[in-house]
C-alpha cells in the first residue's frame, strides 16, 4: 500500500495521506513524494489547484515519524533525523509559497508534521472532527514545520499558550489561532473536493463553508477568544517561570491545567519555544522561522532531550521522562539560547534538495 497517493483528477493535483494504522504519521519518503508532486504541478497548465486530504480514519496526520528517528538517534546516528527535518522543512516552505491554490481538508487529528502540511496550505478546510495540537514540548521538541511562525501570528499571546502547553483545540479555535481558514462540515468534504477537481475554482469553498461556532464537538469546545485577556496577561510574562507561577496562582481551571501541562513538558523545550515564538514575530518569511526551528531540531538528539521524550511517550510508554535538566531554572535562558543559536556550516539550506 502506498503511504502517500499522488495523482491528478480533473483540474486538480491530488495528494492523499494513506498510512491509517500509523495515524498518517509523516515519513521521510512521504515528505519527498509530496514535494515531488507539488513540483510536478507547479508549472503544469492543466492543473489549477492542489487538494490535500487523508484516507478515511481518525487522523489527517498525527505528526512526524519520530519512532524511526528515535531508532537512529538512540544509537548515536543523528544524521537521519537531521536529513529528514531538512527535507521536510523544504517541503513546508514550498507549500507555504506555492504559486497555485492548495486546499487542505482536515477531518480528524492533526498534530506536528500533519499541521506542517495542512496549515501551510493557502485554503484550509477543517471539519467538526478536528483535533489540532502542537504538543512537541512534551517529547523534547519545539513546535516546528513552521509552527512557531503560525503561533507568532496568533492573536495576542495565544501562540505562547498553545506552544508551551500543547493544548488540543477544535475547528473554531484553529481558525481563531490561524491554523485554519474555513469550517466545512465533514459530510460536505467529498462534494467540495469533487467540485474543486471538476472546476479548478477555489471559490467553490464559499458555497460550503459554515460558521465554525455551529460545530458541535464539546470535547474541544471553543475557548481561546473568551480567554484572550487572561491568556494575554499571564503569557506576557518575560520568563517561563513567571508564566507558571501566575498560572498556578489563578483559580481558573484552564490556568491550572496549563500549569500542569507546562510542568509535565520538557523544560528545555518550553524555554526554547517561548523564545522561538517571540523571535518569529519579528520574521517576515516562513523560511526564517524554519531555519531557527532547524537549529533546535538539529541539536535535539545530540544536545537536547528528544530521545528521552520519545522513549517515555512512544517507545516504553511509561509517560515518565527523566529529563536531564528537570527545572525551567536549569535551562533559562542560556541553554535555550544555545539550542537556537546559529549552526554555522550546518545552517538549514532550504533551497538544496
Query: pLDDT tens digits for 158-194?
Result: 999 999 999 999 999 999 999 999 999 999 999 999 9
Is the pLDDT assigned to residue 353 strictly greater than 70?
no
pLDDT for 33:
97
Residue the block writes with cell 533559562: 332
List, for residues 138-165, the tens digit of each pLDDT value: 999 999 999 999 999 999 999 999 999 9
46 CB neighbour count, 10 Å cutoff: 11
**Please, are residues 30 and 61 in contact by the beta-carbon 8 Å criterion?**
no
Instruction: For residue 88, list its beta bridge partners.
Output: none
Instruction: For residue 102, list its beta bridge partners.
Output: 50
Q: Could you give the angle at the alpha carbon of 300 between the alpha carbons of 165 and 159, nearest 5°? A: 30
What does each C-alpha distance from 202 to 34, 235, 281, 340 come to in angstroms?
Answer: 20, 37, 30, 38
Amino acid at each position: 500500500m502506498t503511504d502517500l497517493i499522488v495523482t491528478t483528477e480533473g483540474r486538480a493535483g491530488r495528494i492523499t495521506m494513506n498510512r491509517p494504522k500509523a495515524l498518517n504519521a509523516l515519513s521521510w519518503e512521504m515528505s519527498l513524494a509530496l514535494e515531488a508532486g507539488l513540483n510536478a504541478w507547479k508549472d503544469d497548465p492543466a492543473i489549477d489547484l492542489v487538494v490535500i486530504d487523508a484516507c478515511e480514519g481518525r487522523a489527517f496526520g498525527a505528526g512526524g515519524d519520530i519512532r524511526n528517528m528515535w531508532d537512529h538517534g538512540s544509537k548515536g546516528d543523528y544524521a537521519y533525523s537531521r536529513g529528514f527535518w531538512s527535507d521536510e522543512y523544504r517541503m513546508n516552505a514550498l507549500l507555504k509559497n506555492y504559486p497555485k491554490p492548495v486546499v487542505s481538508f482536515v477531518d480528524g487529528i492533526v498534530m506536528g508534521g500533519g499541521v506542517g502540511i495542512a496549515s501551510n496550505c493557502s485554503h484550509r478546510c477543517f471539519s467538526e472532527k478536528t483535533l489540532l495540537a502542537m504538543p512537541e514540548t512534551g517529547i523534547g521538541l519545539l513546535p516546528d514545520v513552521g509552527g512557531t511562525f503560525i503561533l507568532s501570528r496568533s492573536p495576542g499571546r495565544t501562540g505562547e499558550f498553545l506552544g508551551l502547553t500543547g493544548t488540543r483545540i477544535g475547528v473554531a479555535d484553529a481558525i481563531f489561532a490561524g491554523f485554519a481558514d474555513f469550517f466545512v462540515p465533514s459530510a460536505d468534504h467529498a462534494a467540495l473536493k469533487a467540485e474543486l477537481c471538476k472546476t479548478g475554482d477555489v471559490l467553490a469553498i464559499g458555497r460550503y463553508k459554515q460558521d465554525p461556532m455551529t460545530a458541535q464537538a464539546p470535547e474541544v469546545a471553543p475557548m481561546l477568544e473568551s480567554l484572550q485577556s487572561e491568556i494575554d496577561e499571564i503569557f506576557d510574562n518575560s520568563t517561563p517561570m513567571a508564566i507558571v507561577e501566575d498560572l498556578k496562582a489563578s483559580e481558573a481551571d484552564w490556568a491550572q491545567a496549563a500549569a500542569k501541562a507546562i510542568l509535565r513538558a520538557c523544560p528545555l523545550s518550553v524555554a526554547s519555544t517561548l523564545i522561538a515564538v517571540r523571535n518569529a514575530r519579528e520574521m517576515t518569511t516562513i523560511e526564517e522561522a524554519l531555519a531557527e526551528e532547524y537549529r533546535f531540531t538539529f541539536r535535539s538528539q545530540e544536545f537536547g532531550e528528544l530521545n528521552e521524550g520519545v522513549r517515555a511517550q512512544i517507545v516504553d510508554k511509561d509517560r515518565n521522562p527523566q529529563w536531564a535538566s528537570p527545572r525551567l531554572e536549569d535551562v533559562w535562558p542560556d541553554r535555550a539560547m544555545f539550542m537556537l543559536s546559529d549552526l554555522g556550516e550546518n545552517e538549514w539550506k532550504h533551497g538544496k534538495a
